[in-house]
Amino acid sequence: MVISQPVKVELRRLLLHKRQSMNLKEWQEKSRLICSHLQASSPFTQAKTILTYFSFRQEPDLSALFTAKKNWGFPRCINQSLNWHLWHPGNDTRIGDYGILEPLPCAPLIKANEVDLILVPAVACDIRGYRLGYGGGFYDRLLSSAEWKSKPTIGIVFDFAYLPQLPIETWDIPLHIVCTETGLKMMQ
Ligand SMILES: Nc1nc2c(c(=O)[nH]1)N(C=O)[C@@H](CNc1ccc(C(=O)N[C@@H](CCC(=O)O)C(=O)O)cc1)CN2
Ligand SMILES: Nc1ncnc2c1ncn2[C@@H]1O[C@H](COP(=O)(O)OP(=O)(O)OP(=O)(O)O)[C@@H](O)[C@H]1O
């Protein structure tokens, strides 16, 4: 647990560098492929309310999905946790913590019992579904709480960040599915 921290810090640095050195065309094309795999998947077609994210630091851009007829939820960082607000294309956004776009604080809140699917941003995922994030622990805390534990989760990464094995911590909870530009990978 203690020794995995420097490994995670270095891995995060390398993978973020790799992601941010993609050119615009490559980023757009791979993001488009990720969106089309998601759109064709049954967790997506069956879901009414989906939690997602606004792309930051060249994360896969899912914005092509947001015109689909779903209730879309986006996070706001409040203290150590995430609040989820309804947002539709055309609604206002603002720049929140860490420089990430977020819905306005007055946008309607989404409760856990309304949520069918969570699209989880990641720096990397492994073939067991474990995830490396930015180190804030936001999704680890969310997914460890009783009301969120059983929600279907899809980690979203480019293929170069889909790895055989990430260092894990006691609190890490594996995701159910990972989606890259080559398709969906179901965890055992
Ligand atoms: N698009 C998107 N939105 C998201 C997340 C995400 O991963 N992607 N989050 C997922 O959780 C939350 C934001 N989490 C974040 C956590 C840390 C840093 C960050 O910049 N950390 C510093 C290091 C801070 C430290 O080590 O103490 C850094 O990386 O430089 C950014 C976002 C909510 N919104
Ligand atoms: N279930 C939890 N309860 C309380 N604290 C937690 C929990 N999960 C993680 N943390 C705290 O969050 C910190 C960051 O965790 P970690 O390095 O795994 O984040 P990450 O998954 O990379 O980040 P993020 O989820 O924000 O993208 C840890 O140091 C830990 O103290």
| Mean pLDDT of the region 19-41 | 98
Mean predicted confidence (pLDDT) in 11-16? 98
Which pLDDT tens digit goes with each residue over 146-167?
999 999 999 999 999 999 999 9
Which ligand 2 atom is nearest residue 121's CA?
27
171 CA to centre of ligand 2 in angstroms: 7
Q: Cα of 13 to ligand 1 centre, how many Å? A: 13
Q: What fold characterizes domain 5-128+146-186? A: Rossmann fold (3.40.50)
* Position in ligand 1 atom list of the atom nearest CA 133: 7
Domain ranges of the chain: 5-128+146-186
Angle in degrees, CA 31, 33, 36, rounded to 5:
110
Residues 6+ apart with CB under 8 A from 23: none
**What is the model's pLDDT at position 2?**
61
CA of residue 138 to ligand 1 center, whole Å? 8
**pLDDT of the residue at 107:** 98
Please check the confidence at residue 114 and state whether its pLDDT lies above 90.
yes
Return the ligand number nearest the Cα of 57.
1
**Alpha-carbon dihedral of residues 44, 96, 76, 57, nearest 10 degrees?**
40
Site to probe by mutation for ligand 1, drawn from 34, 61, 93, 100 as the one with most ligand atoms within 8 Å of Cβ, is: 100
> What pLDDT score was predicted for residue 97?
87
What pLDDT, on a 0 to 100 scale, did the predictor assign at position 142? Answer: 97
Task: Give the confidence band of 1 by pLDDT, cuts at 50, 70, 90.
Answer: low
Average pLDDT, the chain: 96
Tell me: pLDDT of 119 over 90. yes
Query: Taking residues 113-141, what's their average pLDDT?
Result: 97
**134 pLDDT exceeds 80?**
yes
pLDDT of residue 4: 77
Using 50, 70 and 90 to split pLDDT, how confident is the model at 5?
confident
Q: Is the CB of 137 under 6 A from ligand 2?
A: yes
Question: For ligand 1, atom 12, which residue shows the shortest CA distance?
Answer: 138
Residue 144 backbone dihedrals phi, psi, to 5 degrees: -90, -10
- From 72, 95, 98, 139, the mutation candidate for ligand 1 (largest count of ligand atoms within 8 A of CB) is 98
**In the predicted structure, residue 174 carries a pLDDT above the cut 60:** yes
**How confident is the model over 24-49, as a mean pLDDT?**
98
